Structure 1
């Protein structure tokens, strides 16, 4: 989620990218070389165009995408603020595996407000679309997930919690005193909140997932690495960098930062999103949004124990894609998307 500060387009961390290359990688990541997955679907918004755009991979290349629908939006929100940012596509899990997909996003049209107002009295709801075929997405709905002391709900995303058997939905919020109903005073630092859902219609009461106060944090993305192992990527809003933590004891286990407590991946970026490679076992692609420049740029790693990321080939990756998401897809879905919205 972009704030008002603009930074230079390519500020490289002095730590993470100087680590060993993929030749030194381990094979500890069990995610994912899946022969049933033949490509990828990317879901993004584009700069000041707060709608949802689909991009389909060129074959099973995790770094090469083409715009669908001739580059026009696939989903145009009409409820709430009339603008959606930070869309995340979530594959159904549990009983919904292979049967349901969801797209959720931030209810924010920045052209109609200001960054300050959007954090004080912004929307407390998230956009939700759902589909049984990845083609027909029905009618959007807005669901409130946060209490009235919050100033906003930004960058919602979700992951299936195997321990709970439900989707854990998370987002960033900041909070004001209950006596400050107009939210004109000072707030606490942005923190990560969460709730559980089984259907993206009803949600449990929101709780705090990560509070790093006084550091403000936003844009959480979580990737499952193994049965009980996860990596999470977070934007430090105070320092404007993205860092990674991992847990091998579940979503509510012990999280540590590979490389130490001050290690980060890049500065001047936001909206991290990581997805597993369909072909190469243990390989992960990380997208970082250079919001002051040309949007998402891809990086790769096969060693998340070392937090070792390297610049990926950008020759087939579109420019100016903003904070979004990517999932692997099967041949029937790849062919259907290409037939419906391809060139």
Structure 2
């Protein structure tokens, strides 16, 4: 341009046929201390112009070393909508649904008359994903729904699902005129079937923002990453007063993580408490590059060793896995 069991959501951009359904995508992982039960990572991505979902499994418990599953062939191939998805996110269930995973994404769409829906797959074992569904989450005056993601809101007892949209005047039904800036919208759901009325989460007009990822740091603290679509950079903000608290930029109001990037996704290290990996998609280059930090009170990200990080991966997400999950993924598609 992020578990009730296991659910996956995907997001895509391109030409869109009119369809009375929707598409969805999630991408956030809660912070944690060193947890020996987590033995590796599952990465889910799309590749360039190929709008399918590909799985990558870490080489052991290394957060920046991955190998393709299924011989490099896609794991999930959408059949609804335009038959393509992008920006996949995998979300772990919260509350009573702790056995599930959700996989969400957006489907191929344009900015003026794109998909207003999200794709959703659901699983309890990361192997069997059932039948995909499309769910409309946005109003008809929006031009698109891009890069959906989700995070469990313990205070609400539901999932906060967020995405990027732009809006047109109500009398511009064909969306041929001038739109407002891209902004981050959200809705709540408990089942990824029914969603609350969408509302605005982040509006930095006239600056356009897309590709939000939220990382829980525990105790009501969060870090969030998003793309400044106007200036084509990614920046970080932090809140120590909840999801709807006061957000500030470590490093100052103009601080950025990197320029000429998009699709930020952050995840905690399984072995070293406080270590965070952030992947950024160089959209005019060779895809994702990994970066690391051990202090999210500052905006200081070091380039990670990319030797064993695959080239060409596009906007996606990463989930920590247990030994049983790691073994099952390896046995099925390794």
Structure with the greater alpha carbon radius of gyration: 1
* Length, aligned pairs only: 309
Aligned mate of 1:265, from 257, 268, 278: 257
C-alpha RMSD of the superposition: 1.4
Change over 3 Å in CA distance of 1:313–1:196 after alignment to 2: same
1:81 matched residue in structure 2: 82
Alignment partner of 1:102 is 2:102? yes
1:13 matched residue in structure 2: none
CA distance in 2, matches of 1:215, 1:341: 43
CA distance in 1, matches of 2:73, 2:101: 21
Matches within 5 A, 1:303-314: 303-314=295-306
CA distance in 2, matches of 1:303, 1:249: 18
CA distance in 2, matches of 1:120, 1:32: 43
1:231 matched residue in structure 2: 223
Aligned mate of 2:208, from 216, 241, 259: 216
CA distance in 2, matches of 1:327, 1:227: 21
Report the structure, 1 or 2, having the larger helix content. Answer: 1
CA shift for structure 1 position 3 = 9.1
Matches within 5 A, 1:122-161: 122-161=114-153
CA distance in 2, matches of 1:135, 1:38: 17
Over 4 Å off, 4+ runs = none
CA distance in 2, matches of 1:3, 1:236: 18
CA distance in 1, matches of 2:249, 2:265: 17
2:17 matched residue in structure 1: none
2:54 matched residue in structure 1: 53
| 2:247 aligned counterpart, secondary structure | coil
Q: TM-score, normalised by structure 2?
A: 0.91
CA distance in 1, matches of 2:271, 2:251: 27
Matches within 5 A, 1:1-343: 1=1, 31-97=32-98, 99-108=99-108, 118-342=110-334
Preserved CA contact (<8 Å) 2:251 2:298: yes
CA distance in 2, matches of 1:30, 1:150: 33
**What runs of 5+ residues in structure 1 fail to find an aligned partner?**
5-28, 110-117
Change over 3 Å in CA distance of 1:55–1:320 after alignment to 2: same
**What runs of 5+ residues in structure 2 fail to find an aligned partner?**
2-11, 15-29
